[in-house]
Amino acid sequence: MKRFLIVLTILILTSCSPKSENAHTDEKSLTSESERIDEFISQTMNDFEIGGAIGIGIVKEGEIVMEKAFGYRDVSRKLPATAETPFYIASITKSFMGTLAVLLDETEEVNIDDPLVKSLGFTLPKDINIEDKTIEDLFTHTSGIGNPAVGIKTAYKGNFSETEIYKDLENLSYPISQGYRYSNLGYIIGALIFKQKLGDDWKQLLKSRLLEPLKMSKTSARISDFTLDEIAKPHMLSEGVMKVGPFLKQDDTMHAAGGILTTVGDMNKWMNFHLNNGQALLSEEALDHIHSDLVGFYEKRGTLNSYGYGMGWNQADWNEYEITWHGGGYPGYRSLCLLSREENLGITILMNQESPAMNLIVDFLLGCFLEISDFETFISDRKDLITSRWKRYQFVRDSILNEGNKIYRFTRKAAEYEGVYLNEELGEVVVKSEQSSVKFTMGNLTFNTNYTGDDSFFYFSDADQLFGTIDFYTQKIGDDISSLDFSGLEFKKINERSNN
């Protein structure tokens, strides 16, 4: 069976390999390419047990090659995904915000070269040196400001006020490396600066300055603009069963570094705009600035070798082709947008299920349109490598899970762990007892747990394969529970029971 699948894949890849410089420009060739991609995606979903959906958007020289979704937006109800199905794209939002910053700069509404120290509207702790930093540095991850509490509140917890965020920025920020250090914080601060200067929040600015002019009518930074039935729900494969998880995002956790829902149809418009194939909202010089390596670094993601970062876009090479790209990830979602500006090619991949298949699909789609040697062998080797690594990861993960799922006798009543626990940076978590275990909730995040002895609980999230331990502590042996440790952070108990 394995040999049959490899042979089938090679046959598909051989037919997809470029044959001449102009092979993909005429309508007949693009139609043929689309059919071959259909076959490959369907086969890949079968091979990697993808029960959710994969959305594919491809543009080449201004033409739409593909605008299609495969699979289900909700497999439990057999609701299919389409080209108009909204997917959460997480950090691809940064490509929108970086573009918005350059647009506002070109219209002279915001000067991204302005000193950051005069633009913030709040005071940072004295040990953070931003004297030589500008607004642009916020969007290239080089501001030198750290504050994970703001990132977690805006991405996961929600239910916060703008005043609270300003207070956290003033009191909980600390200095980090002055060089490139990827985080959400710069984009969140940048959005606050835009609002201070222009009056509108980032969501309204994005809509009026980019989404409406580009006619991206199925794209929004507000969950409330959609019905839950429309949205591609997160899927996960758990113990051989495909499950649909809860949709965790709400309007107040759609933040400027990861807060957009969109479709493959709208992403095709977004890519054509950046390839200068449509609406001329920006000058060519501005587009070049967005897609330049304003800051240098090196990071390898599969076969993408990133060497720099622009305004919300990574700069990389793939088999000697220059690629500008950004990805996104969140529990139950993976997304990727790639451009080859020299080849006038754009590719978007949207998924509502965690899977290493993303890496293989990237290589296949790029290879279908960019000349590389021995394409079929390259993809076959990549598939073998990705599959073997995934199997090793699954083995290690399952071993940990099996240990964590062992049944232990409680040394105290489950209700004794109940209560509200407070961390000064991250806020409150709520612990509730449920039969033979406890449920741990922090904002929109909820984890079920298994007791593993010695006041410790094992937690696991199917959606993003996250697992670990939550440890409870007492002041002295025999005392009541007084605190818990989650991911190395201490939360102190502030009351015995949650009122929720």
The structure tokens listed for 50 are: 């993808």
Among 73-87, 417-431, 459-473, name the most confident range.
Answer: 73-87
Cα–Cα distance between 154 and 255 in angstroms, integer? 6
The confidence band for 231, taking pLDDT boundaries of 50, 70 and 90, is: very high
Q: How many CA atoms lie within 13 A of 305 on its CB side?
A: 6
Residues 204-227 have a mean pLDDT of: 97
CB atoms within 10 A of CB 37: 22
Answer with the residue of higher pLDDT: 19 or 252: 252
Encoded tokens for 179:
């060089």
What 8-state DSSP symbol labels residue 7?
H
Counting residues of the chain whose pLDDT is more than 90, the rounded percentage is 66
In the chain the domains, ranked by start, together with CATH numbers, are 52-100+202-373 (3.40.710.10), 414-495 (2.40.128)
pLDDT surpasses 70 at 500? no
Distance CA 148, CA 237 (A): 30
- Max Cα-Cα span within the chain: 77
Confidence of residue 461 (pLDDT cuts 50, 70, 90): low
**298: pLDDT strictly greater than 70:** yes
Packing angle of the helix pair 357-369, 2-16 (nearest 10 deg): 30
> Would you say 184 and 155 are in contact if contact means Cβ atoms under 8 Å apart?
yes
Q: Which 3 state secondary structure label does DSSP give 496?
A: coil
Lowest mean pLDDT among 2-16, 254-268, 352-366: 2-16
Taken in order 194, 199, 202, 205, the sign of the CA dihedral is negative
pLDDT number for residue 22: 42
On whether the CB atoms of residues 113 and 136 are closer than 8 A, the answer is yes
Q: What is the pTM of this model?
A: 0.85
Evaluate whether 314 touches 306 at the Cβ level (below 8 Å): yes
- The 10s digit of each residue's pLDDT in 384-417 is 999 888 887 777 766 666 665 666 667 788 889 9
Residues 6+ apart with CB under 8 A from 107: none
pLDDT at 309: 98
Phi then psi for residue 79, to 5 deg, are: -95, 115
Taking the C-alpha atoms of residue 356 and residue 280, their distance in angstroms, rounded to an integer, is 36
- Give the CB-side neighbour count of residue 489, counting CA atoms within 13 A: 16
